[in-house]
Structure 1
């Protein structure tokens, strides 16, 4: 199992090779463009899965009204978006059934944009589907929480997700992965152990996930997941924004995999997470 914020998925071939390198059978992706000038106006997720044996599910999070953020608007000035879609994806060679797009918010905060750029229609979502032909029902969920917000609002979004999961798949095995934008977590080297031991002190949504039967200690490392990307730069020390949560399966061998291509160049401003999962 892998999870990655693909930073627009501007380099689908490189992401596919990274997934193949890790050996992951399922990849949960966020920040996936379709028909955006900033990602060459291609169907990025279709480009990623154009090899035999690959498939995908895609859920639209936003219809983009601009060319992107302020920097992207400068780089692509004069260009046009072909489709202007942005969202989450599940990539796998395995079969899935009962797909769902789960809205996590309905406030429309992005409609006016931020700092004069990135106007959008829509809101954050989770994309969920059930693995077909598994020994027991196993759901996977690709998630991206809001970045322009605070811990209390992130908790509201996670509670919306958990309410939807309770209605659709109560107590069934489930893996949730993605960019939780857990910016309130400690970042200093001497505090890294708190990321796995007491994250709910800083990001209350961890308590809600634990109460719903999810665990994270064996599915994650206490390591940052931000990195210098192709375009975006982040202040140091880097934070751990990306997580995997499991319920009804055992998690083993968690890894933080550098998001680099074969030449050592970054393909995202987030690292990839991987974990081995087995039925309990």
Structure 2
């Protein structure tokens, strides 16, 4: 496993085309994956830009978490973020230089003239054009950089950004069903709010989707060990897509999502042991929705969470990820909460 990444850059470097061509060749072994993980420079830096005019500590912090499913729909995502009124947004599944999302920099396009700063880290370098549908729709195109990752977007000044690898198994290196060959692994981004009245860390996390509860627990344990070193006993907010797919779906069982999620997802035992709570920071409502690709279908589960240590949480909400015409912009809804010391 790579150590925590702390090197900051203005622009993450595009992978060398020869390296990517070699990575596409068989065999898709763990040893070869680990070599490409070391050789691709973007895995060893964090793209960082400060806000144009840093915001003073607001006293009450409104935070959002959103799996943006590529962040293809920047204008609608901007409107959703504005509607949320969030001081901080924790994003997952953000493309950079992917043909399927226009080969641009969706995060900078989302920010536009709004003036937020951001940190961005690479979760995967995509060796293909995406999943099977995206490969058909974008056949003949090429990725400018092929990055897919997490971000923290805020007008608050941030300090000490860190990228925390959560797993590097090479699970996606061979691809699935002939598509989505990837180098990389699940990760979290952390940063300290520079002007908070007490030490406060923000963490954008994304756990593996094609795995089981024990593996998700192991990823949370890795994250908590890193936070023990970065932010021992400090206030901390972790938000993102935890992919808690072993929770029961729909019906009267929804209340167990908040009251006793550890029965199905033991990662919550570890979070509680590290001082985190979630009942006041979340709504017992689904966060999945049928997205632009017409998947998934009901019943929906709660995959997205905000967990909090050392702060008071109030007014959690789930905001529908729809554009102005009522069309979905992601297969996840946005979640928000108000936080104060």
| Aligned residues of 2:242 and 2:305 also touching (Cα < 8 A) | yes
- 1:204 maps to 266
Equivalent residue for 1:143? 205
Q: 13-22 vs 191-200, which deviates more? A: 13-22
Which has more helix, going by share of residues? 2
Match of 1:89 among 151, 156, 165: 151
Q: Quick check: 1:37 aligned with 2:99? A: yes
> 1:116 matched to which residue of 2?
178
- Counterparts of 1:160 and 1:51, CA distance in 2: 37
Shift of 1:14: 1.5
Structure 1: gaps spanning 5 or more residues: none
The equivalent residue for 1:259 is: 321
Greater Cα offset, 153-162 or 225-234: 225-234
Partner of 1:247: 309
Cα separation, 2, equivalents of 1:230 and 1:187: 21
Q: What is the deviation of 1:236?
A: 1.7
CA distance in 1, matches of 2:294, 2:243: 15
Task: Give the secondary-structure state (helix, strand or coil) at the position aligned to 1:275.
Answer: strand
SS at match of 2:65: strand
Asked if residue 271 in structure 1 is aligned to residue 333 in structure 2, the reply is yes
Work out whether residues 289 and 297 of structure 2, in 8 Å CA contact, stay in contact via their aligned partners in 1: no
2:193 to 122, 125, 131: 131
> Which residue in the other structure is 1:189 paired with?
251
Cα distance in 2 between the residues matched to 1:220 and 1:226: 14
From 115, 133, 152, the counterpart of 2:214: 152
Alignment TM-score, normalising by the size of structure 1: 0.98
Bigger Rg, which one: 2
- Report how many residues are paired: 279
Tell me if structure 1 keeps the 8 A contact 2:287–2:304. yes
Partner of 2:242: 180
- The 1-side partners of 2:247 and 2:195 are apart by 38
How many Å apart are 1:141 and its aligned residue? 0.4
Considering only aligned residues, what root-mean-square deviation do their CA atoms show, in Å?
Answer: 0.8
**Alpha-carbon distance in 1 for matches of 2:296, 2:106:** 25
Is the deviation greater in 210-219 or in 256-265? 256-265
Alpha-carbon separation, structure 2, partners of 1:187 and 1:150? 16
- Structure 2 residue runs without a partner (length 5+): 1-62
Deviation at 1:232, TM superposition (A): 4.2
Deviation digits for residues 228-258 of structure 1, max 9, x if unmatched? 1111411321010000000000000000000
Which residue of the partner structure matches residue 12 of structure 1? 74
Following TM superposition, the consecutive aligned residue runs of length 4 or more in structure 1 with deviations greater than 2 angstroms are none
My pick for the range that moved more, 10-19 or 237-246, is 10-19
Of the structure 1 ranges 18-27 and 51-60, higher mean CA displacement relative to structure 2 is found in 51-60
Q: Give the Å deviation of 1:52.
A: 3.8
231-240 or 201-210, which moves further after superposition?
A: 231-240
